[in-house]
Amino acid sequence: MFETLRPLTIGIVAGEISGDTLGAGLIRALKIQYPHARFVGICGTQMMAEGGESLFPLERLSVMGLVEVLGRIKELLGIRESLEKFFIETNIDVFIGIDAPDFNLGLAAKLKQAGIKTVHYVSPSVWAWRQGRIHKIKAAIDLMLCLLPFEKQFYDQHQLEAVFVGHPLADSIPLLNDTTQARQQLKLPDNKEFVALLPGSRGGEVGRLAQPLFAAAKLILRKYPHVEFIIPAINPLRKKQITELLAVEGLKAHIFDDKYGAGVGRLVMSAADVVVLASGTATLEAMLVKKPMVVVYKLHWLTYWIVRLLSRAKYISLPNLLANEPLVPELVQNEATPAAIAKATLGCMENVVYREQTISRFTELHQSLQADASVTAANAIKVLLER
């Protein structure tokens, strides 16, 4: 065994909340293989609970959009330079970047040049846009860990070692969602209709999406005054922001904060009848808890036009990408008006046949992603380390 010689030091960097969840599961699985390993880099609360050491707050990497990054570029480059120096001086055995490709792949390239083995967990959407990036990815990465089956196929075509590990959320979330239990946890009545509103986890994202989502909610209330709205807030800062924006819009809603844990967003979605949310990992969670959804995508206008020019993907939401068909409505940029959001949400609420068919397809997709992801990923890293 590798660790009989000396304990491993594993560099690990997560860039946002979803990466923290993946990193926590991976650390748990790797500790079974290497019980004395040290995990150090950038970790969120879940990773730190598993023993990860964080040199910088994870929140400092949580920046969305090309234009938004420019305002923080000096700080981000400084963090990356500090990590590079620390990892090389510490002589880590392997570097694992979790998502955040613009940050982690640049760091991985420097570390690989220094003779350190490199792994990237969560494929960038290179299959969808900026496919020319594959050459830089190959130069930076020894092993790609893919959460989605079609991603491995793409890397196989470009001769980059990749392993489909499935998605940890598909392993941890039951195939059958218990809405009643979720409502009991949130102390919500079981005889009312709830719509979950998820305008995002980052400040900028919430600033762009909350107003059209809350305005759409008011339109829904005109037709169905009995409907109630539930909103997760992942930290006190987001709760304050959401509370202020609700007041501006004059909308009443139940806000559930981080006292319910890191999975407050999933819990809120589990309790809802329909979910209206920002595009991202949350759309996968909504699919896994089998909730009809409306996906909204709105970026800074310049970021959006750059993405649009370079994108080759037909869809933006993970359910639609996995199914390769429009299972759920997607409202992008200027289409994401309160009227359009309300209309799509009402369609989900009123069409019983659509809801049943959607739940059936979501169950099939859920099963296709179950592969004991954290263990499979840890085993692939072990093979790389002991090669």
22-31 per-position pLDDT tens digit: 999 999 999 9
Fold identical between 2-166+371-386 and 179-368? yes
247-300 per-position pLDDT tens digit: 999 999 999 987 877 689 999 999 999 999 998 889 999 999 999 999 998 766
101-135 per-position pLDDT tens digit: 989 999 999 999 999 999 999 998 776 556 678 99
More confident residue, 241 or 262: 241
Of 85-94, 126-135, 154-163, 200-209, the poorest mean pLDDT is in 126-135
Residue spans of the domains in the chain: they are: 2-166+371-386, 179-368
**pLDDT in the model for residue 305:** 59
Of 75-89, 152-166, 168-182, 310-324, the poorest mean pLDDT is in 310-324
Assigned token pair, 13: 């960097």
C-beta contacts of 177-181 below 8 A and 24+ residues apart: 177/270, 177/289, 177/290, 177/291, 178/270, 179/270, 179/271, 181/270
CATH number belonging to domain 179-368: 3.40.50.2000
Assigned token pair, 6: 């000396």
Global pTM reads 0.77
* Residue 306 clears pLDDT 70, i.e. is over it: no
What CATH architecture does domain 2-166+371-386 belong to? 3-Layer(aba) Sandwich (3.40)
Mean pLDDT of 326-343: 94
Cα separation values, 46 from 40, 97, 231, 263, 370, Å: 13, 16, 22, 11, 22
* Residue 165 clears pLDDT 70, i.e. is over it: yes
Residue identified by tokens 């595009």 is 279
Cα distance between residue 303 and residue 288, in whole Å: 29
